[in-house]
Structures are given as structure tokens and as C-alpha cells.
Structure 1
Amino acid sequence: MNLYPINSGNFKLDGGAMFGVVPKSLWQKTNPADANNMIDLTARCLLIEDDNQLVLIDTGMGNKQSSKFFGYYYLWGNNTLEKSLKQFGFHPNDITDVFMTHLHFDHCGGSIQWNADKTGYEPAFKNAHFWSNKDHWAWATQPNKREKASFLKENILPMEESGQLKFTSIPKGDTLFDSELGFDVFFANGHTDKQMIPMIKYKGKTICFMADLLPTLGHLPLPFVMGYDTRPLLTLDEKEIFLNRAADNNYFLFLEHDAHNEIITVQRTEKGVRLKDIYTTSEIFN
């Protein structure tokens, strides 16, 4: 098995929205804001190469939205999904499976692209299955008013229309092993319903793709919960469960949205679970 970090692009969001009720005087220590109160973020995806299977976890925002839309997110840098795949010798047509942690636009927008004459949409990965789960799919296609702006139908419905959509199972507990994809999945419901956190066994380590359960290193303290979360008290419980497991089992936490820290480990302290070590992906994957 080989793992590759795929940077699909960088953006900015309001620091207050990213940290909810936590005062700026606290969160700006780890996530400094610019003059507009915006903090640096990224959409760091993960590619798993295992025998004949090439699984891409999340796909970033994509490039089909309007310049007005992207203007809200202050895009920066030159990274794109396709350029990052090419850097490692891959093409979108090589991807066999696209696993979406959830269907917010910054996690699945790159899955769908304009067709050649821009009259409609088509899968960006023509030979891949797109993976979600039935509960989250229903949640995303019949969105509540709070999340409606994050669930864009042009990102979601073409997956089903293409015939390439597949659903992973819903566990009886909080974790299942998906035999088709070859990794464990932790289900979390605080950010959005049935968000999926992949946990990959790799060279004796467990690599956890943290998605929006832990978007950045700065979100480690339990009360540091995003304002975007639909059930913040549930996020508190889920973070505590997962981070304690991560500390006890020395999980390596792959941070999808942290523009400056790629992978971390954590440890138990008197103040709760806190940072142990910071790694680059090249240190862990090579």
C-alpha cells in the first residue's frame, strides 16, 4: 500500500465561524487571522494505492462554481486536485473509488465537473465509484436550512445520475470495517449527520483522516468546536471518544483543513488530550 497527500486547493474562512463560541484571544494563538478575520485553510485529500485499487478520500471544492462564489473563500496558492494527482503520476481516470467523508461542497465539489460544452455536469472521475452512506445522502439531498448552502445539488445529484454512486454500511456502533474499501470508518454526527472518518492501517500505523471532526490542530481542546456544526454538544462527546482512542492507540491524525500542519499525534494530559508530535506526510508516508 502507498499513501499520497493530494492538495486540492487552499482557501480562507472566518476564524470566528471556525471556532464557534471560543474567544479570538484563544484561537488566534494557533490559527492567526488576517485583517478580515480570515484564517488559512486547505483541502488536503488522501490517495490510497492498494493493489489495483486507487481510493481518493474527499475532493475539495472543485472549479465549476462562479468567480463570485469562490470570492467568498479567498482562494490562495496554485494547488489543484488534478495537478496534485499528476505530481504523483496519476490521472483522474485512474481513480477506482472516491470516498466522501460528507457532502459539504468543500469536501465533494471536485467529484463533479462541467461537461465539455458546459451545458451540464459529469463525474470528474469517469471510472470510479462514489461512496457515501444512505443516512447522510438523505440528509444532504433534503437539506435543513442551516446546511442548505453547503449541500449544492450540482455537486451531489450527478453522482447518482451517473450510476456510479455506492453506499457503505451503517454500523450498529460507531465504527465499522468496510471490506470493499479495506479500512475502518468512524461515524460522527455532530458536524453533520453520519460524517465518515476513515482509519487506514499502514505499515503498522493507523492513519485517521480527520475531515471536520478535527479540522485543524487548533481544534484539539474539546470546547473548540466549529460554528458550522449542527449538533455541537454531540461533537464534544465524539471528539472526546475519538481523541482518547487516538492517544491510547497512538493514531496518526491526518488534518484535512490545517494549512500548516499535516499529521499529528496526541497524548493524555491533566488538561485533557493535547498535542504530542507534528509530522509531515513525507515523514510518515515515505
Structure 2
Amino acid sequence: MKIYPIETGNFKLDGGAMFGVVPKVLWQRTNPADSNNLIDMSLRTMLIEDGNRLILIDTGVGNKQSDKFFSYYYMFGDFSLDASLAKHGFHRDDITDIFLTHLHFDHCGGSIQWNKNHTGYEPAFKNAKFWSNKNHWKWATEPNPREKASFLKENINPIEASGQLNFLDIPSGNFATDTVLGFDILFADGHTEKQMIPHIQYKGKTIVFVADLLPTVGHIPLPYVMGYDTRPLLTMDEKSKFLNEAANNNYFLFFEHDATNELCTVKQTEKGIRLDKTYKFSEVFN
């Protein structure tokens, strides 16, 4: 098995929305804001090469949305999905599986593209199976008013129409082991219904793709919860359980949205779980 960080782009979001009720004077220590109160965010995905399978975890925001849409999110930088894949010798047509942690636009938008005539949409990965779960799919296709702006029909419906959609089973205990994709999955409900958090065994260590359970290192303290979360108190409970397990088992946390830090470990302190060390992926897994 080989794992590659795949940088698909960068964008900006409102710092207050990203930290909910936490005052700016506190969160800006780790996530400094610009003059518009926006903080830098990454769209970092992960590619797993495992035998004949090439599994891409999340696909970034994509490029099919309108200029007006992108103007809300201040895309910046030179990263792209295709360039990142090519850096490691791959093309999107090589991808066998797309694992979507959840269906918010910044996690699945790159899954679908315009067709050649610009008259409709098609999968951006023509040879891949797309993986979600039934509970989250229903949640996303029948969205509540709070999340409706994040669940875009043009990102979701074409996946089902393509015939490439597959569902993973949800265990009663919300932790699936030995899945068909070769890694364990934690199902978390605080941010959105049945977000899927992969736990991957790699070179004798556990890497967790934390997605929106833990957007940045600045979100490690329990009260630091996004305003976007549908069930913030549940997020705090899920974070507490997960971070204690991560500290006790020396998990390496892989960040999708932290523009500065690719990986970190956490530790137990008198004040609760706190950041231990940050790393570039290549520093730990070369």
C-alpha cells in the first residue's frame, strides 16, 4: 500500500462560522483571519494505492460552478486535482474508487464535471465506483434548510444517474471494521448525518482522515466547533471520544482543511486533549 496527499486547491471561509461561539481573540491564535475575517482553508484529499485499487478520499470542490459561486469562497493558489495526481504518476481515469466522507460541495464537487457539450453533467472519474451510505445519501437528497446550500443537486444526482453509486453498510455501533475498501470507518453525526471518517493502517501506524470532524488543528479543544455543524453538542461528544482514542493510540490525524498542517498527533494534558506535534506527510511516511 502507498498513500499520497492530493492537494486540489485552497479557499477561504468566515472565521466566525468556522469556530461557532468561540471568540475571535481565541481562535485567531491558530487560524489568523484577513481583513474580511476570512481564514485560509485547504481542499486536501488522499489517494490510497492498494494492489489494483486506487481509492481517492473526497474530490475537492471541482471547477464546474459559476464565477459567482466561486466568488463567495475566494479560491486561491495553484493546486489542482489533475496536477496533484499527475505528480504521482496517475490520471483520474486510473481511479477505481471514490470514497466520499460526506456530500457537502467542498468534499464531493470534484466528482462531477460538465460533459463535452456543456449541456449536462457526467462523472469526472469514469472508471470509479462512488461510495456513500444510505442514511447520508437520503439526508443529502432531502436536505434540511440549514444544509441545503451545501448539498448541491449537480454534485449529487449525476452520481446516482451514472450507475456508479454504491453504499457502505452502517454498523449498529457506528464503527465499521474490515470494510470492502480495506480500512475501518467511524460514522459521525454531529457535523452532518453519518459522515464517514476512515481509519487506515499504514506502515505500522494508524492514519485517520478526519474530514469535518476536526477541520484544523485549531479545532482540537472540545468547545471549538463549527457553526456549520447540525448537532454541535453531539460533535463535542464525538470529538471527545475520538480524540481520547487518538491520544491513547498515537493516531496520526490527516487534515483535509488545514491549510498549514497536513498531519498531527494529540496528547493528554491537565486541560484535556491538546495538540502534540504537527508534521508534513513526507516527514512521517516517506
Range into which the TM-score falls when normalised by the shorter chain: over 0.9
Please state whether the residue corresponding to 2:9 is helix, strand or coil.
strand
Equivalent position of 1:196 in the other structure: 196
Deviation at 1:179, TM superposition (A): 2.8
Aligned residue pairs: how many? 286
Q: Distance in 2 between matches of 1:69 and 1:237?
A: 34
Equivalent position of 1:163 in the other structure: 163
Q: Deviations over 1:96-148 (max 9, x none)?
A: 00000000000000000000010000000000000000000000000000000
Deviation at 1:178, TM superposition (A): 4.5
Q: How does 1:11-160 map to 2 (within 5 A)?
A: 11-160=11-160
Q: Which runs of 4+ in 1 moved over 3 A?
A: none
Q: Distance in 1 between matches of 2:120 and 2:178?
A: 33
8 Å contact from structure 1 (residues 255, 262) kept in 2: yes
Indicate whether 1:269 and 2:269 are aligned: yes
Q: Distance in 2 between matches of 1:8 and 1:139?
A: 26
Indicate whether 1:183 and 2:183 are aligned: yes
TM-score normalised per structure 1? 0.99
Q: What residue identity is the alignment partner of 1:15?
A: G
Q: Distance in 2 between matches of 1:243 and 1:55?
A: 25
Q: Distance in 2 between matches of 1:157 and 1:237?
A: 32
Please state whether the residue corresponding to 2:244 is helix, strand or coil.
helix
Q: What residue identity is the alignment partner of 2:175?
A: T
Deviation at 1:228, TM superposition (A): 0.1
Counting aligned pairs with the same residue, the percent is 71
Q: What residue identity is the alignment partner of 2:284?
A: I
Q: Which runs of 5+ in 1 are unaligned?
A: none
Q: Distance in 2 between matches of 1:276 and 1:139?
A: 35
Please state whether the residue corresponding to 2:119 is helix, strand or coil.
coil
Q: Deviations over 1:57-98 (max 9, x none)?
A: 000100000010000000110111111111111000000000
Please state whether the residue corresponding to 1:135 is helix, strand or coil.
helix
8 Å contact from structure 1 (residues 169, 178) kept in 2: no
Equivalent position of 2:4 in the other structure: 4
Q: Which runs of 5+ in 2 are unaligned?
A: none
Q: Distance in 2 between matches of 1:179 and 1:18?
A: 32
Please state whether the residue corresponding to 2:41 is helix, strand or coil.
strand
Q: Distance in 2 between matches of 1:285 and 1:109?
A: 28
Q: How does 1:233-244 map to 2 (within 5 A)?
A: 233-244=233-244
Q: What residue identity is the alignment partner of 2:206?
A: T
Please state whether the residue corresponding to 1:68 is helix, strand or coil.
helix
Equivalent position of 2:248 in the other structure: 248
Q: Distance in 1 between matches of 2:180 and 2:122?
A: 24
8 Å contact from structure 1 (residues 12, 38) kept in 2: yes
Please state whether the residue corresponding to 1:160 is helix, strand or coil.
helix
Q: What residue identity is the alignment partner of 1:186?
A: L
Q: What residue identity is the alignment partner of 1:130?
A: F
| RMSD of aligned residue pairs (Cα, Å) | 0.6
TM-score normalised per structure 2? 0.99
Deviation at 1:19, TM superposition (A): 0.2
Please state whether the residue corresponding to 2:276 is helix, strand or coil.
strand
Equivalent position of 1:217 in the other structure: 217
